[in-house]
Amino acid sequence: MNYFTKAFIVILALLSVIKFNTGAPVENTSLTSGSDAKSAFGQAFDEIVVESTLNVKRKGSGRQSRNNQPSITRTKRQHGFPYPSLNFPNYGDSVAAASAQAQSHQAQSPFGNFGASASGSQSQSLAFGPKGPFGSASFAGSQQYMLPNGETINIAFGNSIGNSESNKAGGATISISSPKR
């Protein structure tokens, strides 16, 4: 069944429920308390007059000039420049992926508390352009340990690489903090 058929059946069912629940005609029903035919909500009104005003203000001019240079507009589906140009044409494939995780643990014992947490993330990308394939990959992570004697150990590490010698970076650090006395 399509959407309109279902909607029609629901409306038809609602109308039939309303019809069967109101057995008496509308003109014979009234909300009265007692036999004196006085309304349960007080005196009936023939007319209710509401006076109000509506003020509409014009919005200030929101236009602001950015600069005096002509803007460059491109129409939809306009193709890029051919192969040898400096602009990167869109005739290659590209892929990318990313992932992140986090976890933690806390334990209490008569000997003290122990807690640990860790998080990590990874990403990679690969694209093919006029000068051949190029890509990059990176990862980073951190760990924290809270020992029963109150010491905290923090470890952080990361690395990234691209497809040239200057696009490599990495590092790691470890810090240990003693308990507050």
> Could you give the strand order of the β-sheet that contains 168-177, starting from the edge strand earlier in sequence?
94-109, 112-129, 132-146, 152-162, 168-177
Higher pLDDT: 14 or 115? It is 115
Q: Which of 113-117, 118-122, 167-171 has the weakest average pLDDT?
A: 167-171
Q: What are phi and psi of 122, to 5 degrees?
A: -140, 150
**What pLDDT, on a 0 to 100 scale, did the predictor assign at position 41?**
60
Contact between 117 and 152 (Cβ < 8 Å): no
155 Cβ neighbours under 8 A, 6+ residues apart: 142, 143, 144, 172, 173, 174
What is the maximum span of the chain, computed from C-alpha positions, in angstroms? 98
**What pLDDT, on a 0 to 100 scale, did the predictor assign at position 141?**
94
Instruction: Give the pLDDT mean for 159-169.
Output: 82
Average pLDDT of the chain to the nearest whole number: 73
Under the banding of pLDDT at 50, 70 and 90, the label for residue 79 is low
Higher pLDDT: 42 or 135? It is 135
Instruction: Give the pLDDT mean for 129-151.
Output: 87
155 to each of 54, 65, 135, 146, how far by Cα in Å? 64, 51, 28, 12
Instruction: Give the pLDDT mean for 74-94.
Output: 56
**What pLDDT, on a 0 to 100 scale, did the predictor assign at position 154?**
93
**pTM of full prediction above 0.75:** no
Higher pLDDT: 67 or 153? It is 153
CA distance 38 to 44: 8
Angle in degrees, CA 122, 126, 132, rounded to 5 = 150
**What pLDDT, on a 0 to 100 scale, did the predictor assign at position 144?**
92
Q: Which two tokens stand for residue 111?
A: 């000997």
**Any idea where the domains of the chain sit in the sequence?**
94-177
**What pLDDT, on a 0 to 100 scale, did the predictor assign at position 1?**
59
> Has residue 63 got a pLDDT over 90?
no
